[in-house]
Structure 1
Amino acid sequence: MTSLFRIGQVLKGRASQYTITKEIQDTVWFAKNHLQELVVIKSVQGHPRVENEQNVLKRFQYRTPYLRPLVDVIEEPSAPVTIALRHLQDNLLHASVAKTLNRGELKYVLRCVLEALNTLHEDGFVHTDFKPDNVFVNLQEGKIRFSDVQLGDLGGCYPTDSKWATSGTVVGAPIWTSPEILMELPWNTAADIWSFGTMLISLIYGGDFNLFRPKGLKRDDEEYVVGVVQEQFKFFGPFPAKIAEIADPDTVHSILLIMENIPKAKTTPFCRTTEREVTKRDNIFVSKMMKLDWRDRPTAKELLKDEWWDDDAE
């Protein structure tokens, strides 16, 4: 695939002009403005993601400091849609792999991103791709090493009444994604709450840990998504009988097969995790959001009021 932009190319925006300095991936570049400040350039040919991210940020970025903001729109070249975003030093995945978050960092980061989700959810928008590598951070010295935390990559952020949500379009990275999305059921803001809980578990353990990564399967294996759902069931099952109210008969049949193939003796309920691994306080908080029926999950607003945020007793 030929890159849209070359190193040294100048892009003219409404607020400044930008010189491309580095290609990060097919659709993302670093560039410097006229003050030599670094920005992130995003553009993709023949797909609405970048235009959608621009529209979502225009709607929400002034309501919260916890979304990575749009800083400019490129006018030359005029096509495809190209945007400039704030540059932050790192993403949360890299930072947590480098060093597991301490207690203060964990709560600070999670409150920031939950505030961002709450802002989106208030208007019925779903991020759909919530994971540590889409949380961007600036670093500092001190007890809490993060000076800024912002949720980014809003190209797949859509309202709950969009065709993507109502038709059950599969979105996001499977190991971070809610069971209803993986089973191609209609989804809503509760899907982000599952992803938030998944990220909390990963940050507690540290490194590149993900509870739902299927063992012995690669991302492009045909059985990979089913493997993720099986892991979700092993730790947070069983599916409640009332799931039949929101799932079609084929999906109910698939759920029954999963439950038959994994007898109770082979499940590993997360609530039984030892306190040496996960404190009781953390386990209770995690268990509130990791419900296989999305109707049982709390909202972002409710989670922000949870007693988990109070000072730790330990």
Structure 2
Amino acid sequence: MRADRDTRSGGSTRPDARRRLPADPMIGRVLDARYEITDRIARGGMASVYEAHDLRLDRTVAVKVMHPGMGDDEAFASRFVREARAAAKLSHPNVVAVYDQGEDDGAVFLAMELVRGHTLRDTIAREAPMRPARALSLLEPVLAALAAAHRAGLVHRDIKPENVLISEETDGPTRVKVADFGLARAVTAETQHTSTGVLIGTVSYIAPELVIEGRADARADVYSVGVLLFELLTGRKPHAGETPIQVAYKHVHDDVPPPSHEVPGIPPYVDALVARATARATARDRDLRPADAGVLLHQVRRVANALAAGLADDPELTADLALPVHPAEEETEAYDVADWVRETDHEPTTAMRTAPPTRAAAPPVTPGGPAGPPVPRRPRRRRTGLVLRLVLALVLVAALAVGGWWLFEGRYTRTPALVGLTKAAATTRLHHAGLEAKVATAYSDTVPKGQVISSDPDREGKVLDGGTVTITVSRGVEEYAVPKLAGRSLDDAEQALATIKLEVGGPRKRWSETVPEGSVIRTTPKAGTVLRPGHTVTLYVSKGRQPITIGDWEHRDAAKAKATLEKRGLKVDLDYDYDDDVAKGDVVSQSPGAGTTLHRRDTVSLIVSKGPHLVVVPDVRGSGQGSATDELEKAGFKVEVDHYTPYFGLGFVMGQDHAGDKLPFGSTIHIYVS
């Protein structure tokens, strides 16, 4: 791709392109505190395209910046913004994606997908004329992109090889993408005609109705694709001229020739496809063209299938695509300006068809006259011929002048001053001027609500008699109330804020016992706060219930354990029991155990020690050995028997340990038997 490409907006780059570009003051600048300009890709008449780094999303993008002064006109800037928003809604794999639009210190810019590769112009230079199958394979993705645009109500109006980008992927398939959606329409509306009526801009692919009426629908894109197909097949454009006016003239008055006239061997059904797509609005009704790119895409696929089958001809397909012949289009012997142009080897101009001159009749020959012409009369015939030629030239000049005036001035009405009027007043003024009003609305920081911001065409701009002028009425300052987002998912909340052009701050994660994980807890500013587009709304998003990990409280003070756990939001259930090993008031055991994760209001059970279980030792002295043993064991003690000194073998308890004392349950008591 060459560095002098000046019409692309999608940013197609090649390493050697940047080295040939001069230094640019935009390099190094950061637009909107987000897009850091790193390299210039191309420079054109109205804008330059740069490679930039998106600091917010950490990605490489293409940024198209209008040249200084282009964005000063409020109507142009308003249309640029409106069309950029419309194009941003168009999501298709064969369309260069539009990411963002903005203005930074006078620099009006558009941020979009960066396509690394080359343009279709480069492919044409290398491969054209190319095989029909190859040509259609390049056109299919272009038509797929246009079909999506036409379904969305968008008309490109500037289809040309420079606006078709071909990626050079290293890790995937090569992709064809169409650039300049929306921007082409904004630029065309402002620059298609000058106040003098001279057609400017790209005319090699322009539809006839754009030349004649200055407006077009989806069929204009279909015409441009047909011209592009002719160029792919033949290696040249169907209409050529020394000036744009001459080329525009030929689009209006000349059919696109069959490509097989240039490249023999092209099947008739391919010729018919080109003819169908390029049916003119003059000699042929443009309604004979496919209604939109989707219809043409279907026809292209039928032709591609015939080519894949190796058919040299398919009469049925050719008949389906062929244009009907209108009697008014048959060639006649009438002498018109085109005849004069061809006979005199002049180049045609836009006005040359409007007022054909009258052919001068040849002087009659009298039968039976003298064999030799009289010598004295020769000078008179010579002078008569000169006079006739002079008269013919004067008539031609007058016809051209009148035709040119009618073509570029006479059939137009000037748009009255409308800016600042109310909608009703502007509509009334247009009706008085014999024009229809189409109303659009837009936000404005400077124009009060209900007043006209701009008109299309602008004041003193030309519009066909009885035509339509679009007035843009102010909706006032653009501002929105922060919606109620609590309880909604993060994705829903972000989408809701994006819809009203508010930036998302955060999200900041917080624990919540009531809001499910992933849902919005609250916003800052709060719901209902009125903000301008671009302001930031911070989202606080739930992480779910806060986990609480309990520690090891066994053999530790139960009162402290209860206070600590309750302070952390847990419930504590206490139970008490005797324990010989754990001091009274300490925790004997806990459930769940240490290290378990709980949540607020969950319950922890603690067993608290009541200390050892103490029992009064019965006094069994004087009792028989057997009964004494039974009584002590029944009280929960263990019994050991010792002989009393002197021992007589009588079996009576003469003494014992701890009679009447309190001892831990299960303690051992010694009795002494005589």
The answer on 1:176 being equivalent to 2:176 is no
Pick one of 74, 87, 95 that aligns with 1:67.
95
Native 8 Å contact 2:132 2:266 kept in 1: no
Residue identity in the other structure for 2:121 = L
1:18-50 superposed Cα distances (whole Å, 9 cap, x missing partner):
233126215123223159965321121324365
Partner of 1:115: 144
1:130-172 superposed Cα distances (whole Å, 9 cap, x missing partner):
111111111358xxx97111111121337xxx9999xx99685
Q: Which of the two has greater helix per residue?
A: 1
What is the CA–CA distance in structure 1 between the aligned matches of 2:41 and 2:157, rounded to whole Å? 25
- How far the C-alpha of 1:274 sits from its partner, in A, is 6.4
Structure showing greater radius of gyration is 2
- How far the C-alpha of 1:189 sits from its partner, in A, is 1.4
Aligned pairs for 1:93-104 within 5 A:
93-100=121-128, 101-104=130-133
* Higher RCO by CA contacts (8 Å cutoff, separation 6 or greater): 1
Aligned pairs for 1:98-247 within 5 A:
98-100=126-128, 101-139=130-168, 147-154=174-181, 155-157=183-185, 173-184=202-213, 186-206=215-235, 209-214=236-241, 217=242, 219=243, 224-230=244-250, 233-236=253-256
Native 8 Å contact 1:50 1:83 kept in 2: no
Residue identity in the other structure for 1:134 = N
- Give the 3-state SS of the residue equivalent to 1:305 in structure 2: helix
What is the CA–CA distance in structure 2 between the aligned matches of 1:108 and 1:74, rounded to whole Å? 36
- Give the 3-state SS of the residue equivalent to 1:175 in structure 2: coil
**Number of corresponding residues:** 259
5+ residue gaps, structure 1, are 237-268
TM-score by length of 1: 0.69
For the structure 1 residues 36 and 94, does the alpha-carbon distance in structure 2 shift closer, same or farther, using more than 3 Å as the test? farther
1:164-209 superposed Cα distances (whole Å, 9 cap, x missing partner):
99xx996851111011111235422111111010001011123xx2
5+ residue gaps, structure 2, are 1-21, 311-674
What is the CA–CA distance in structure 1 between the aligned matches of 2:252 and 2:266, rounded to whole Å? 18
For the structure 1 residues 163 and 72, does the alpha-carbon distance in structure 2 shift closer, same or farther, using more than 3 Å as the test? closer
- How far the C-alpha of 1:272 sits from its partner, in A, is 7.0
- How far the C-alpha of 1:51 sits from its partner, in A, is 2.6
Native 8 Å contact 2:94 2:177 kept in 1: yes
- Give the 3-state SS of the residue equivalent to 1:235 in structure 2: coil
The answer on 1:308 being equivalent to 2:303 is yes
Pick one of 273, 286, 289 that aligns with 2:261.
273
Partner of 1:28: 48
For the structure 1 residues 281 and 13, does the alpha-carbon distance in structure 2 shift closer, same or farther, using more than 3 Å as the test? farther
Partner of 1:18: 36
TM-score by length of 2: 0.34
For the structure 1 residues 135 and 301, does the alpha-carbon distance in structure 2 shift closer, same or farther, using more than 3 Å as the test? same
Native 8 Å contact 2:226 2:274 kept in 1: yes
Native 8 Å contact 2:81 2:101 kept in 1: no
Native 8 Å contact 2:219 2:289 kept in 1: yes
The answer on 1:86 being equivalent to 2:86 is no
Native 8 Å contact 2:255 2:280 kept in 1: no
Larger displacement relative to structure 2 (226-235 or 181-190): 226-235
Residue identity in the other structure for 2:65 = S
Partner of 1:297: 289
RMSD: 3.5
Native 8 Å contact 1:129 1:172 kept in 2: no
Native 8 Å contact 1:42 1:83 kept in 2: yes
Residue identity in the other structure for 1:21 = D
Partner of 2:272: 284
Residue identity in the other structure for 1:298 = P
- Give the 3-state SS of the residue equivalent to 1:90 in structure 2: strand
For the structure 1 residues 73 and 186, does the alpha-carbon distance in structure 2 shift closer, same or farther, using more than 3 Å as the test? closer
What is the CA–CA distance in structure 2 between the aligned matches of 1:186 and 1:74, rounded to whole Å? 27
What is the CA–CA distance in structure 1 between the aligned matches of 2:41 and 2:263, rounded to whole Å? 44
What is the CA–CA distance in structure 2 between the aligned matches of 1:24 and 1:169, rounded to whole Å? 27
- How far the C-alpha of 1:129 sits from its partner, in A, is 0.7
- How far the C-alpha of 1:310 sits from its partner, in A, is 1.6
- Give the 3-state SS of the residue equivalent to 1:108 in structure 2: helix
The answer on 1:56 being equivalent to 2:49 is no
Residue identity in the other structure for 1:9 = G
Q: Which of the two has greater strand per residue?
A: 2
Percentage identity across paired residues of the two chains = 19
For the structure 1 residues 59 and 231, does the alpha-carbon distance in structure 2 shift closer, same or farther, using more than 3 Å as the test? closer
Native 8 Å contact 1:169 1:184 kept in 2: no
